[in-house]
Every structure is written in structure tokens, then in C-alpha cells.
Amino acid sequence: MKRCQPLPFISVGSPESTTPKEPGRMGTGRPSAAVPGSNLMPAVFLDRDGTLIEDRGSLRSPAQVVFYPETIAALRRIQQRFRLFIVTNQSCVAAGEVAIQEANEVNDFVVQWLRLKGVTIVAVYCCPHQRSDGCVCIKPNPHFLLHAAQWHGVDLHRSFVVGDHPQDVELARNAGARGIYVLTGHGQKHRSKLDSGEIVVTGIAAAADWLLGKMDASSALDGRSHPKAPLAANAPQLAE
């Protein structure tokens, strides 16, 4: 088994952020002093490929990044209520197809482009291992979400993972959050592997609709738990 760094690399998306720097390539700092139950923020953990940008296989350069047309507007809306993180598996690094620097450059480009468009990504969490490495950080292990809870005062029980793979939904479950499955990327292909009752939407814009609508509808709740399981009827119905 290869040696696994628990925090292989993390891009901090907002240098002007007051959040202390996390351990990782961007530096070290202290965890958030947030006390459970006080000022904890809900977050949305976004998968990268097939969710925010087109899944075009292993990306080695920012020039290969193609955002979905709806991504920026959707994230602008979501960030009104949630802090945004990206969580991505890039096993292409462990496979030797992409250098870690190249993966970092792609992630940094995504963050910087979004920032130019008014969207703040708090951090990018990227696992560069492959599953056979047995690392702690590969999705659906909840490692990075637990880290965000500790370092950024995220309330995982009011948080979501949005992604196009069943492991994104599983990640949410493993962290005490909720998954939202999108049908972009590999979403259609793997949909049959999803458990019934999961939230399924057409893409990131529909995910934003769902998240904001649910927040509005649940604003009278105590905020400590998720609203009731969404109905499949909430998702745009697709012919199968």
C-alpha cells in the first residue's frame, strides 16, 4: 500500500478570506474555533468533473476546462445560503496520467475563474490517490467533509454534496449530509446504481433550485436537521 497523506493537497480559494489557512500545500493554521451549535454554516460540497465542468477525462491543463453554461449562475445563487467547497477524486494523478502540479493548476483555474465571476470557493479538496491505495481521502470517505467541519465551522447535518456519481451521494451519507445527484457528466450512466429516494436533478441549475427552495421551505424548522427526504417527484422527471 502506498503511503497516504491524509491531506494531500488543498487549494484555498479565497486569499482575502478571514478563514485561517488549512494544513496542506497552502500553509498551516489553526482549526476554526467554532463550537458545535454556534454559528455553524451549512455548505455545499461540489464535485468537479461532470458537475461544474464537462467530464472530459483526465485534465492536465486549464485550457481543457469547459464549464457548463449554467454553472456560474447556479453557484451564485447557492452561495447566498451555503458556503461552497469542491471535493474531487483525481486518481489520474496516482495513475501517472496527470502530474500533481497539473491537477493543482486545473483546480486553481476553476477557483480563480469562478472568483472572477463572483463565486467564492472556500477550498478545493482533491484526492490524488487511486482506490487501491486505501487512502482516507478518496470519496466516498468523509475525510474532507469532516475536515471542513473542523476548519471552517461547517454544519454537516445541514450540508449537501452535489455530484454525478453514486459515490458523491454516498459521501454525503457517510458525513451526515445529504446528496444531490445530477444527471450531467456520468449521471445518466450510473443512475441505476442509486438507491431509490435520493434527490435526482438534471444538473447544477436544478440543484440550485432544489437547495434554495428547500431552504425557504424549511426556514421555519429548527435548522438542526435536514428537511424530510425529498421526493423523487421534486426532480425533473425524465423519460426512461
Binding site for Zn ion (CB under 5 A): 127, 129, 135, 137-138
Question: Exposure of 86 by Cβ count < 10 A (0-12 exposed, 13-18 middle, 19+ buried)?
Answer: buried
Does 170 help bind Mg ion (rule: CB under 5 A)? no
Please choose, from the candidates 189, 132, 198, 146, the residue with its C-alpha nearest in 3D space to the C-alpha of residue 170.
198
50 vs 230, which CB is nearer to Mg ion? 50
Residue at shortest CB range from Mg ion = 50
Residue 70 CA to residue 205 CA, distance in Å, equals 6
Does 22 help bind Mg ion (rule: CB under 5 A)? no
Active site residue 216: no
Active site residue 47: yes
138 binds, among Zn ion, Mg ion, none (CB under 5 to 8 A by kind): Zn ion
Residue 76 CA to residue 79 CA, distance in Å, equals 5
CB atoms closer than 10 angstroms to residue 215: 17
Q: Scanning the structure block, which residue is given the C-alpha cell 464535485?
A: 47
135 vs 154, which CB is nearer to Zn ion? 135
Q: How far is the CB of 88 from Zn ion (least distance, A)?
A: 11
For Mg ion, what does the binding mask look like between residues 171 and 200, x meaning CB under 5 A?
--------------x---------------
Q: How far is the CB of 168 from Mg ion (least distance, A)?
A: 7
Q: Which sign does the torsion angle of CA 101, 106, 107, 113 carry?
A: positive
